[in-house]
Structure formats: C-alpha cells, structure tokens
Amino acid sequence: MARHGGRGWYGRVVAAAVGVTAVAAATSVWTAQAGQTGEQPAARPAARKPVPVAATIVHASDGGDRAVNITIDDGPDPSWTPQVLQVLKDNGVKATFCMVGTQAQAHPDMVKRVVAAGHRLCDHTVSHDTTMDKKSEAYQSQQILDAERQITTASGGVRPMYYRAPGGAFTPYSRHLAASHGMRPLGWNVDSKDFERPGTDAIVNTVKTELTNGPTLLFHDAGGDRSQTVAALRTLLPWLKQQGYSFGFPMH
C-alpha cells in the first residue's frame, strides 16, 4: 500500500494529542456497531474486555463478490464530514470512517453523527504518523490505544471496529495489538488519490480504472479542501450502483 506524503496538517495534530495509559484503553466499553439505529447507544459499564479478532489485514467485503467498501480517512472534519455524510445518505450508502484520535476528540458531535447514521468507526491512530512502523512498540501502542480511547469517548461509548495504519504502516505488533482490542486491521485496494486533489474527474477515473483491484475504496474527509472528494462521491456512488455493485462493510 502506498504511503501518503505531504501531510503537514498532521504535524499540528501531534501537538494536540492527549496521552492516556493502555490500562484506560483496555477497560473501555464494547458496543457492537452492526445494525445500529439512529439512537445513540448508551455506554456500558467499564471493564468488559473487547472480543479479539483476526490480525490479518482485511480487504474483502461482507456484502459478497459484487460489493464494495467505502472507507473515509483522516476526519472527522466540521466542514467536510457533514458533506460526505449527506452524499452517503442521498445514495443510501454506509461507510467506514477511519478517524484520527485528536480529530475525534476535537469534534465529538461529528463522531456521534457518523455513528447515528449507521456507519462504522475505525482507529487511524492519534497523530497519523506514516513512519510509525519504524518506531518502538511502546510508541505504536500509544498511538493505537490512545486513539481507541479518544474515538470511543467521542462517540459516547461506541468502539472502533477496525484499525488502519497511516499510509499502510502496519507491523506484526500493531496488527496483533489492534486485533486483541477487537479492531480488525483494515487495508485498501483502490486509492482514489483524492488527497492530492488532482481534480474530480481524475478521482472518478482512478476509481473506475482500479476497481478490479478489489472492493475496498479509500477516500478522505479531512486534511484540506475535500470538495473534489465530495463531488467524486456524488458521481461514483450512483455509477457503482448502475454497474451492479452493492455496498458493504469490510469483513470483521
């Protein structure tokens, strides 16, 4: 998986990160996200351990061979996340939102809106360090478990179901750590390249051309102007339906 460069926006996010202990993350509540309604789930009493999942990186869709997974990275963002949510709603599509911990902490209302709309949450670390696979296990643990806590707290008790390493910087340790906390490592097959803002048409063409690579599509709702992403999704979601695709979630 290709790494994303030029993300100076995250340098400012790093400074805002709030450290917590792994103990706090280990005692966070577990709430299943599948089949949620518009009502906010109540947080259960702490101390219930998450159910471990497979540590292999998942790409497949639970919707079958003709289903795609829409994944949205780097938010939530108060400007762009609502617009992405609206396009998804207009097309009756559910997605997986891979959230940066400090962004979730800063915009808990957006996290709750994502959950209320029936989408799933994914841990995308505290500060989106694409070199974290070169860092110590203690650092990897802090990035993953602190973000897990930040997202769970911001959501009102709904835990992330997946873990996506920034830029694909997975390690065996990070995969197994996330999996032990109930978060399936999540890859992607089609990088829309929307982060580079190449133009709406270019984003659409990239997805159409690379769709045969597999079902999990990567987009972004933060890190800069995401108007091209919103416009591309507005074109792609109906097109995918016309091609006979349905929409699912990554296997968990």
Q: What are phi and psi of 74, to 5 degrees?
A: 85, -10
**CA distances to 171, 172, 230 from 56, in Å:** 11, 9, 31
Grouping H, G, I as helix, E, B as strand and the rest as coil, residue 143 is helix
Instruction: Count H helices and E strands in the chain, helices first.
Output: 9, 8
Exposure string (b/e) for 11-22, b if CB count within 10 Å is 16 or more?
eebeeebeebeb
CA end-to-end span of the chain, whole Å? 20
Residue 238 CA to residue 246 CA, distance in Å, equals: 10
Instruction: Just list the catalytic residues.
Output: 73, 220
Q: Which amino acid is at 236?
A: L
Grouping H, G, I as helix, E, B as strand and the rest as coil, residue 82 is helix
C-beta atoms surrounding 71 within 10 Å: 25
Exposure string (b/e) for 190-205, b if CB count within 10 Å is 16 or more?
bbbbbbbbeebebbbe
